[in-house]
Chain A
Amino acid sequence: MDAQTLIAKRIALELRDGMLVNLGIGIPTLVANFVPPSIHVFFQSENGLIGTGPVAEPGMAQPRLTDAGGRPVTALPGACTFDSAMSFALIRGGHVDVTVLGGLQVDQGGLLANWMIPGKMVPGMGGAMDLVCGAKRVLVAMQHTAKGKSKIVKRVSLPLTSVRPVDLVVTELAVIAFPKGRATLLETAPGVTVRDVLAATEAELIVAENVSQMAV
Chain B
Amino acid sequence: MKTIPIQEAVGMIPEGACLMIGGFMACGTPEPLMDELVRQGKRGLTVIANDTAAPGVGIGKLVRAKLLRKVIVSHIGLNKETQEQMMAGQLEVELVPQGTLIERIRAGGSGLGGILTPTGVGTVVEKGKQKISVDGRDYLLETALHADFALVHALMSDYLGNLAYALTARNFNPVIAMAATTVIVTAEHIVPVGVIAPDNVITPAPLVDYVIAEG
Which residues of A are interface residues toward B (Cβ below 8 A)? 45-49, 62-66, 68-70, 75, 81-85, 88-89, 91-92, 121-130, 133-134, 159-163
Q: Name B136-186 residues within 8 Å CB distance of A.
A: 155, 166-175
Interchain CB contact under 8 A, B124 and A159 = yes
Residues of A within 8 A of B175 (CB): 83-85
Residues of B within 8 A of A128 (CB): 97
Taking the nearest CB of chain A, how far is it from the CB of B62, in angstroms? Answer: 17
Residues of B within 8 A of A160 (CB): 122-124
Residues of B within 8 A of A75 (CB): 167
Taking the nearest CB of chain A, how far is it from the CB of B12, in angstroms? Answer: 26
Complex partner residue of A163 from B24, B54, B123, CB under 8 angstroms: B123
If A84-B171, A92-B118 touch, does A70 touch B26 (CB 8 Å cutoff)? yes
Residues of A within 8 A of B124 (CB): 159-160
| A130 CA to B121 CA, complexed, in Å | 11
Interchain CB contact under 8 A, B168 and A123 = no
Taking the nearest CB of chain A, how far is it from the CB of B65, in angstroms? Answer: 21
| A178 CA to B124 CA, complexed, in Å | 24
Complex partner residue of A64 from B25, B27, B100, B123, CB under 8 angstroms: B27
Q: Would you call B98 an interface residue if the criterion is a C-beta within 8 Å of the partner chain's C-beta atoms?
A: yes
Residues of B within 8 A of A83 (CB): 102, 170-175, 202
Q: Would you call B14 an interface residue if the criterion is a C-beta within 8 Å of the partner chain's C-beta atoms?
A: no
**Additional 19 contacts, C-beta under 8 A, given A88-B98, A129-B123:** A48-B168, A64-B169, A65-B167, A70-B24, A70-B26, A81-B167, A82-B170, A83-B173, A84-B24, A88-B102, A88-B103, A122-B76, A122-B93, A124-B75, A124-B76, A125-B95, A125-B98, A134-B99, A163-B122
Taking the nearest CB of chain B, how far is it from the CB of A138, in angstroms? Answer: 13
Taking the nearest CB of chain A, how far is it from the CB of B7, in angstroms? Answer: 25
Interchain CB contact under 8 A, B75 and A123 = yes
Interchain CB contact under 8 A, A122 and B100 = no
Q: Would you call B112 an interface residue if the criterion is a C-beta within 8 Å of the partner chain's C-beta atoms?
A: no
Complex partner residue of A159 from B51, B75, B123, B202, CB under 8 angstroms: B123
Interchain CB contact under 8 A, A162 and B123 = yes
Interchain CB contact under 8 A, B86 and A163 = no
| A58 CA to B73 CA, complexed, in Å | 31
Q: Can you report 27 A-B residue pairs in the complex whose CB atoms are below 8 A from each other?
A: A47-B171, A48-B168, A64-B27, A64-B169, A68-B24, A68-B25, A69-B25, A81-B167, A81-B168, A83-B170, A84-B24, A84-B50, A85-B102, A88-B102, A123-B76, A123-B77, A124-B75, A125-B75, A126-B77, A127-B99, A129-B119, A133-B118, A134-B119, A161-B123, A163-B121, A163-B122, A163-B123
| A85 CA to B170 CA, complexed, in Å | 11
If A69-B25, A70-B25, A84-B24 touch, does A130 touch B167 (CB 8 Å cutoff)? no
| A44 CA to B90 CA, complexed, in Å | 36
| A161 CA to B125 CA, complexed, in Å | 9
Interchain CB contact under 8 A, A127 and B74 = yes
List the A residue with the shortest CB-CB distance to B105.
A85
List the B residue with the shortest CB-CB distance to A92.
B99
Residues of A within 8 A of B125 (CB): 125, 129
Residues of A within 8 A of B98 (CB): 46, 84, 88, 125-127, 130
List the B residue with the shortest CB-CB distance to A163.
B122
Taking the nearest CB of chain A, how far is it from the CB of B73, in angstroms? Answer: 7
